[in-house]
Amino acid sequence: MTSDELFDMAAKAAEANAKAQTPNHRILAGGVEYTPGSSGRRKLYEIRNDFYEVGDLLEEIADGNDAEISDQMQDRLDALSGELSDKLHSCGLYLRDQEAHINALKAEIDRMTKLRRTAERKCEWFRNYMQTAMEAADMTKVNGDLCTVSLRKCAPSVMVQDLDALVEADTTGEFVRTPPTPEPQPDKKLILKHWKETGKILPGCIVNDSKRTLQVK
């Protein structure tokens, strides 16, 4: 028996036990019925599925705006029973699973991207080979049972061989565009490095060293 099957059996047993104790069970936002014990707290395995259903809510309302999604997610989380520490623990487990899923997706995207680039290089090589062969044989079209291969004339294009000569000849500035001067771009990494090494904050800058981030191990 797998761990998932054992978990399902335990969850069903807990639910049946709760129903047997009293006829007054409460329906959670996640759709699970339970009767709280004397402490009013639920065990983590009892609310794990609820948190996964809250996460799945994002897929159901993916077309909504961020405010709507945030409100509905907050309502569902607030409806779940349990101490705040239990909720945060369950949220942390869900977050860790989703981050692992994201990493797996990234790895798969990288793998598929490499396969796509390999396929593109193969197609480009075959195109060049076929075109070179047809031009060498002075052929413009090959008719087959399943496909037709042909050479067609491309739209005219311009190649600039001497930019200085073109600029000199373009006295009106009609044919050569001069890009505007780009705006200064601060190098935040170097500014931060300077602050770490000297303790001095450059004029016009602030260093935010009080920001905290959530970590789940």
Give the pLDDT confidence of 138-180 residue by residue, as tens digits. Answer: 999 999 999 999 999 888 889 899 999 998 888 888 888 888 8
CA distance 34 to 18: 6
Q: Which of 126, 93, 101 is nearest to 216 (CA)?
A: 93
Indicate if the pLDDT at residue 110 is higher than 90.
Answer: yes
Return the ∠ at Cα 11 (arms to 91 and 47), rounded to 5°: 20
pLDDT value for 57: 61
E-strand stretches of the chain: 26-27, 33-34, 141-143, 148-150
The C-alpha torsion from 109 through 110 and 111 to 116, rounded to 10°, is: 80
Give the pLDDT confidence of 18-74 residue by residue, as tens digits. Answer: 444 434 433 333 343 434 443 445 555 555 566 666 666 666 555 555 555 566 666
Please name the residue that has the structure tokens 């991207």.
Answer: 113
Q: Domains of the chain: which residue ranges?
A: 3-82
Return the ∠ at Cα 187 (arms to 186 and 191), rounded to 5°: 105
Return the ∠ at Cα 65 (arms to 59 and 69), rounded to 5°: 50
Q: Which position has the higher pLDDT, 181 or 150? A: 150
